[in-house]
């Protein structure tokens, strides 16, 4: 059985607690909310499993309830370029869902993750009926544009400390990833996968950032003490 089929078979309705983590749910009117609740499904993705693959048609709009995903693409030479990580609270793929296109990227679980999905037909129904949902998607698209412009800048940076700082800052975006809060649960190896550096070099960068008072390394994750400093190039 393929990974995609296994993920589909493991899907189930969301609990009330899980529904409470969805950032756009409170923007819906009662009838709109009921339509969304009836359609939403959640599945457990194991490390390495793909939720989206390049060239596959879009079927769901996805959101991370718990865990960490990686968005990437392979070039003609077979090299993988990582665009961003998707931590808890992040919903992604709205551009692809809007146009009903095939995916131009892969989405893979870096650790065991809980991922919710709203069928693309219901996604379009909400766009047609809910002003609140429209505003949420519009804000998502606006933030996503800024995120990918920043990702292009990061990809061209030769300073490893700066790459790590800016990549971390992108994961603490309160609009795209409201479920993260002040502490991001991530390992140095997972961060290395997202940044495209060795774990040892990421460790050196985190040590430097901690010494500058930007972050604090805690058990199982990182706490941001100065988000603006992470976003700035001046402090390095």
Q: How far apart are CA 210 and CA 124, in angstroms?
A: 44
Q: How far apart are CA 108 and CA 52, in angstroms?
A: 7
Could you identify the residue written with the tokens 């140095």? 188
158-231 folds as Arc Repressor Mutant, subunit A (1.10.10)
Q: What is the pLDDT of residue 135?
A: 96
Question: Is the pLDDT assigned to residue 76 strictly greater than 70?
Answer: no
Strand, coil or helix: 119: strand
In CATH, the architecture of 3-151 is Sandwich (2.60)
Q: What is the pLDDT of residues 13-32, one digit of tens each?
A: 999 999 999 999 999 999 99
Q: What is the pLDDT of residue 158?
A: 72
Question: Is the pLDDT assigned to residue 152 strictly greater than 90?
Answer: no
- The answer to whether 83 touches 139, Cβ cutoff 8 Å, is no
Q: How far apart are CA 9 and CA 44, in angstroms?
A: 10
Tell me which of 80 and 162 has the higher pLDDT. Answer: 162
Domain boundaries, the chain: 3-151, 158-231
């Amino acid at each position: 059985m393929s990974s995609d089929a296994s993920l589909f078979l493991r899907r189930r309705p969301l609990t009330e607690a899980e529904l409470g983590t969805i950032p756009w749910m409170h923007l819906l009117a009662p009838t709109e909310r009921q339509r969304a609740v009836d359609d939403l499904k959640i599945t457990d993705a194991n490390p390495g499993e793909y939720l989206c693959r390049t060239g596959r048609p879009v079927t769901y709009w996805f959101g991370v309830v718990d865990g960490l995903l990686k968005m990437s693409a392979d070039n003609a030479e077979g090299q993988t370029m990582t665009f961003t990580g998707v931590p808890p609270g992040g919903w992604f793929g709205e551009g692809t869902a809007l146009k009903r296109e095939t995916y131009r990227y892969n989405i893979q679980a870096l650790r065991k993750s809980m991922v919710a999905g709203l069928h693309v037909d219901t996604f379009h129904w909400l766009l047609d009926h809910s002003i609140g949902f429209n505003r949420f998607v519009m804000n998502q698209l606006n933030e996503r544009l800024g995120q990918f412009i920043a990702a292009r800048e990061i990809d061209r940076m030769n300073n490893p400390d700066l790459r790590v700082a800016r990549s971390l800052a992108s994961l603490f975006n309160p609009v795209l990833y409201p479920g993260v809060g002040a502490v991001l649960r991530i390992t140095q190896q997972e961060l290395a996968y997202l940044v495209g550096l060795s774990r040892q070099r990421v460790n050196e960068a985190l040590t430097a950032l901690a010494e500058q008072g930007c972050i604090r390394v805690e058990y199982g994750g990182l706490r941001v003490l100065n988000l603006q400093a992470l976003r700035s190039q001046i402090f390095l």
